[in-house]
Structure 1
Amino acid sequence: MAGVKTAAGWRAHMRGAAVFAVLALGISPALAETLPLDPAREAAVAALIDKARASPPALRVLLRGMPKGGDLHNHLGGAIYAEDFLEWAGDKGFCVKADGLSVEPPPCPAERTIARFSVADEFGYDRLVNAMSTRGWQRGVGRNDVSGHNQFFGSFSRFGPIAGENAKMLAAARRIAAGDNLSYLELDHNTTTLSASFAAAPAGELDAAGLEARYAAEVKALAPLIPAARKELDADEAEAGKAMACGTPRAEPGCKVAVHYLFQAMRALPPTYVYRSLILGFLMVEADPRFVGVNIVMPEDAYPARRDYRLHMAMIRLLAKKHPSVKLTLHAGEVTLGLVPPQDLRDHIEQAVAAGAKRIGHGTGIAFEDNAEATMARMAREGVAVEINLSSNDVILGVKGADHPLNLYRAHGVPVVLSTDDQGVLRSDMTNEYVRAVTEQGLGYAELKKIARAGLHYAFLPGEALWADVAGLKPVAACADLAAPSCAKFLSANEKARLQADLEQRFAAYETVRLARAAGEN
């Protein structure tokens, strides 16, 4: 900050700018005094980020330490880097397949054990990592042979044989999140116990008229699986916590990252399989408070997903009536012009919102929907947030920059959150999503803070929110003063509000440190 050479000078500069910044940012002076908000400090950090806008490396240095709230669209299986999967597979004696593109359980020739192959064949190992992710594809390898869409989704089958290391995966995801200064992960994750039951769904036809009768039969058959699934999650969480030394003086930063789960129903399967996965999801959420909602996943452009989209929404509507406490976030609009026929672009997001979704995953195809403006108006009115995945939409759909609807949603008042989707397969992280939001979407620091706050406000976290009006930064009455006993009581009873209050403290610490460093550099 030119002209400010000392800490005392910096404080005087900040006091002198305070009145102007309070008015410019639209924050009342009273609120700025009762919460750790300092509009002048925020404006000064915003200036630093604007100055670095043309340099992604400089932006990353600035944004890595920025508190980022919650990642609400993070598939645990896709969050893990191929190198980690290969290390775990090597520990279990797995082998590289003869084609060098995947792995398999032992036995195999000694030269194809992962432990030996990884050391003896450097370029073969690189080829294997590229096959198990989009790393090579993003750098031009094989782009003429396979689309980003197919490379992405094809990666899952290649690391599938070693994707059952749920405890290790949980620990890895929390470590990555801590490094990105996230407070919260809402992980898309199914226990092995429940996933294994999908393929055992009864065969046969299923249409909307048969959903009620099938539900009654399925609930009776599936209910006994829930206790075993909960026990499995208990063990996985305990093992992950032990690996990170949680609860000890040696606890890793990842231990502080709060975690809840979204059950993933599978859409690109026969209707009986899809319905069973949805029913299991609703049952699990009702039985286990660690699961806070149900999602529906797999490629939206897959033939069964397109053919049965209306049937899937009918399934969800019926289950939502029977289990009204279960929250929904639905992948919808993960399509774009040319990927699917025109009829599959017309109303997927509209249908998902009508089915009761409280958040929309991706929403990339909104501009192609018949009632796009009415749907966005409803989302804005009802507080239905959209989970924006910039790297994912670029790689899978080829949608980025000005073609991306992030700013279209913002212009229509739709709440927006940034998320990573499958950061291991995509070779990204949350900081990269924030950098892209600045460089490709033109967002500034104030907009990034709103997004970080939204990542907690629109999370399915238990308890009430800190903000009565998150857009206007108006806290609930109990926390008009964060230091008041009434606020301490409120925060202790509400996990969501507790994380939101912590985020404001993190913002204050981050901004203070960034400006102190800037003052020392000038």
Structure 2
Amino acid sequence: MAALGLLPLSAAVPASAVPASAPAIVPAAGPAAAPRVPTPAEARTDAYLEAVRERPGRLDAFFRSMPKGGELHNHLSGAVSTEYLIRLAAEDGLCVQTATMTAVPPPCGPGTRPAADARTDRAFRDALIRAWSMQDFPPGGNGHDHFFDTFGKFGEVTWRHRGKLLASFADEVAEQNQSYLETMVSPASDGAKKLADAVGWDADLAALHRKLTDGGRLDALVKEAVKEADDGDAEFRRAARCGTERERPSCGLTVRWISQVSRGSSPERVFTQIALGLRLAERDDRFVAVNLVQPEDWDSSLQNYSLQMRMIAYLRGVYPRAHVTLHAGELWPGLVKPEDLSFHIAEAVGVARTDRVGHGVDLVHENDWQGTARAMAARETAVEVPFTSNAQILGVRGAEHPFETYRAYGVPVVLATDDPGVSRIDITHEYGYAARTYGLSYPELKDLARASLEYAFVPGASLWRGNPTAEGYRTVPACRGERPGTPIRSTSCRRLVEGSGKAALEWRQEAAFAAFEAAHANPVR
């Protein structure tokens, strides 16, 4: 199989890349790319991978220790382990409604019991884990509803402890050899609702934005969100013991926030949250983007989808330095009407001009999906792929998933976890799934990891030139002749790496790759 991003854009797309029910594939147009030639170190590491494919323990260790770049698509509340959420609930003295297994504030009245009971009652603890995650969920059950219902059940726990949640999840990310994390939260959520309700709806988006900003009301929300972030950072530093001799791995991770927008809310609330998130991203460098969350198939989400894309398009003009990544195409036949499958990714790309697409599962069911795929490739609009989430929520896996179609069209692809705590998986699992299911080689997996930093919302120039997905990962002229990851010799390359957050992370990852490949250079015994 050709390496990621190196299949010529003019090549025919393999039929196996698309479900049998999909429309006929039209070859993508574009210049041919040179084939990916593995380095000797990559070839030796690939040989090691091939030798351990049927040895689960060795294979898991390989993927766990492999440098995996950045984690770009996850929701903090659903990212931490369920066991940790139960521990926090007990520490906060919360109660659990036994009929629904929902965490509620104390005191624990009739029909509830203390969450702390889970410390000693194994059956109660196991029931909580099943209610708050996909643990033991039957294959034939309604995974979609159970998955999304978990957030309401543990929500009373998660809103209280942004910093502790981050310390827990960031430890996991760092321990799996990732160096960068973008995670989603809802800044100033209550304040945004109150402001939106006070202002009301106005179909004139410019007028609506003026109403939000009049009297400094939107700026007051920004200050509220900054205060939340400050408090969360302080809690994080305490929990992770940063700056002490016992600091946790999370202290060394680069972390940025993405502002969530509840797409199922009223139009005025959605607009207000988008405006807040974009304004925040331009004023506080801890925040980088906005994203629409909640099920894309809800009636309100479907009814207002095109309007929300227009909202983003307008607000992107007001806040051009902020980024956007959108859940789009997290749909499948049978979940919604055929007409609702026909345009979501296309509008996210063409109207909202999103920088990345989250999920993008229904690609081949959209009108002119080939044109959308070509546009994504040309604009380098990456798609974030969480395999397990797509299988649990939509039942889409293997050849039905458009993973290979995106790659064949030259669309940048990054692997992600979505809600690893709810799904009971981690990024190592997703890399292993990709390798086993699609027969990926080590160079292909390496380029997936590279893409996760290349398409991260990290400021600064890239180490790579051109379109690395289509043309391969070649260093920019400033670093010509350098071997990425080794001591820098030239002044121009040193200036680039020291002056760019993105190039610095990419150079650091190349050093990690070199060490990883050296550790897997010997034949398997």
Q: TM-score range by the shorter chain?
A: 0.7 to 0.9
Is the CA contact (8 Å cut-off) linking 1:89 and 1:114 kept in structure 2?
yes
Q: Which amino acid in structure 1 is aligned with residue 476 of structure 2?
A: V
For 1:214-253, what aligned pairs fall within 5 Å after superposition? 214-220=208-214, 221-253=217-249
Q: Partners of 1:421 and 1:394 in 2: how far apart?
A: 12
Deviations along 1:482-506, one digit per CA (max 9) or x if unpaired, are 3323222221211110000000000
Q: Partners of 2:444 and 2:412 in 1: how far apart?
A: 11
Task: Look up the match of 2:42.
Answer: 42
Q: Partners of 2:99 and 2:493 in 1: how far apart?
A: 60
Is the CA contact (8 Å cut-off) linking 2:199 and 2:211 kept in structure 1?
no
Is the CA contact (8 Å cut-off) linking 1:56 and 1:439 kept in structure 2?
no
Task: Look up the match of 2:458.
Answer: 461
Q: CA deviation at 1:100?
A: 6.1
Task: Look up the match of 1:398.
Answer: 395
Is the CA contact (8 Å cut-off) linking 2:192 and 2:269 kept in structure 1?
no
Task: Look up the match of 2:206.
Answer: 212
Q: Which amino acid in structure 2 is aligned with residue 114 of structure 1?
A: A
Task: Look up the match of 2:167.
Answer: 171
Is the CA contact (8 Å cut-off) linking 1:56 and 1:435 kept in structure 2?
no
Q: Partners of 2:128 and 2:148 in 1: how far apart?
A: 15
Is the CA contact (8 Å cut-off) linking 2:36 and 2:472 kept in structure 1?
no
Q: Partners of 1:100 and 1:329 in 2: how far apart?
A: 33
Q: Partners of 2:205 and 2:438 in 1: how far apart?
A: 43
Between 1:461-470 and 1:308-317, the stretch displaced more is 461-470
Q: Partners of 2:375 and 2:69 in 1: how far apart?
A: 25
Deviations along 1:433-492, one digit per CA (max 9) or x if unpaired, are 001101112222111111100000011101111111434222122222233232222212
Q: Partners of 1:40 and 1:152 in 2: how far apart?
A: 44
Q: CA deviation at 1:282?
A: 1.2
Give identity over the alignment, percent: 39
Between 1:276-285 and 1:222-231, the stretch displaced more is 222-231
Task: Look up the match of 1:156.
Answer: 151
Is the CA contact (8 Å cut-off) linking 1:194 and 1:225 kept in structure 2?
no
Q: CA deviation at 1:200?
A: 5.1
Is the CA contact (8 Å cut-off) linking 1:180 and 1:431 kept in structure 2?
yes
Aligned to 2:414, the other structure's residue is in SS state: strand
Task: Look up the match of 1:77.
Answer: 77
Aligned to 2:72, the other structure's residue is in SS state: strand
Is residue 379 from structure 1 mapped to residue 376 from structure 2 by the alignment?
Answer: yes
Is the CA contact (8 Å cut-off) linking 1:194 and 1:280 kept in structure 2?
no
Distance 1:203 1:231, change over 3 A: closer
Q: Partners of 2:163 and 2:313 in 1: how far apart?
A: 33
Is the CA contact (8 Å cut-off) linking 1:67 and 1:506 kept in structure 2?
yes
Aligned to 1:136, the other structure's residue is in SS state: coil
Q: Partners of 2:276 and 2:491 in 1: how far apart?
A: 42
Q: CA deviation at 1:238?
A: 2.6
Is residue 346 from structure 1 mapped to residue 377 from structure 2 by the alignment?
Answer: no
Aligned to 2:73, the other structure's residue is in SS state: strand
Is the CA contact (8 Å cut-off) linking 2:329 and 2:345 kept in structure 1?
yes
Q: Which amino acid in structure 2 is aligned with residue 26 of structure 1?
A: V
Is the CA contact (8 Å cut-off) linking 1:203 and 1:272 kept in structure 2?
no
Q: CA deviation at 1:219?
A: 2.3
Deviations along 1:390-440, one digit per CA (max 9) or x if unpaired, are 000000000001111000000111110000111111111000000110111
Is the CA contact (8 Å cut-off) linking 1:54 and 1:439 kept in structure 2?
no
Task: Look up the match of 2:264.
Answer: 268
Q: Which amino acid in structure 2 is aligned with residue 284 of structure 1?
A: L
Between 1:275-284 and 1:220-229, the stretch displaced more is 220-229
Q: Which amino acid in structure 1 is aligned with residue 151 of structure 2?
A: F
Q: Partners of 2:102 and 2:57 in 1: how far apart?
A: 33
Q: CA deviation at 1:246?
A: 2.1
Instruction: Give aligned pairs, total.
Output: 478
Distance 1:252 1:485, change over 3 A: farther
* TM-score of the aligned structures, taking structure 1 as reference length: 0.88
Q: CA deviation at 1:203?
A: 7.1
Q: Partners of 1:199 and 1:284 in 2: how far apart?
A: 18
Give structure 1 stretches of 5+ with no counterpart: 1-22, 28-38
Aligned to 1:277, the other structure's residue is in SS state: helix
Is residue 419 from structure 1 mapped to residue 413 from structure 2 by the alignment?
Answer: no
Aligned to 2:392, the other structure's residue is in SS state: helix
For 1:97-496, what aligned pairs fall within 5 Å after superposition? 97-99=97-99, 101-108=101-108, 112-115=113-116, 117-137=117-137, 140=138, 146-164=141-159, 165-191=161-187, 193-198=188-193, 201-202=196-197, 206=201, 209-220=203-214, 221-354=217-350, 355-469=352-466, 470=468, 471-480=471-480, 481=482, 482-496=488-502
Q: Partners of 2:294 and 2:433 in 1: how far apart?
A: 25
Is the CA contact (8 Å cut-off) linking 1:53 and 1:438 kept in structure 2?
no
Q: Which amino acid in structure 1 is aligned with residue 474 of structure 2?
A: K
Is the CA contact (8 Å cut-off) linking 1:406 and 1:441 kept in structure 2?
no
Task: Look up the match of 2:509.
Answer: 503
Is the CA contact (8 Å cut-off) linking 1:362 and 1:387 kept in structure 2?
yes
Q: Partners of 1:510 and 1:476 in 2: how far apart?
A: 24
Between 1:412-421 and 1:465-474, the stretch displaced more is 465-474
Structure with the higher fraction of residues in helix conformation: 1
Aligned to 1:314, the other structure's residue is in SS state: helix
Distance 1:483 1:198, change over 3 A: farther
Q: Partners of 1:86 and 1:121 in 2: how far apart?
A: 12
Q: Partners of 1:339 and 1:72 in 2: how far apart?
A: 26
Between 1:407-416 and 1:489-498, the stretch displaced more is 489-498
Q: CA deviation at 1:83?
A: 1.1
Q: CA deviation at 1:119?
A: 3.7
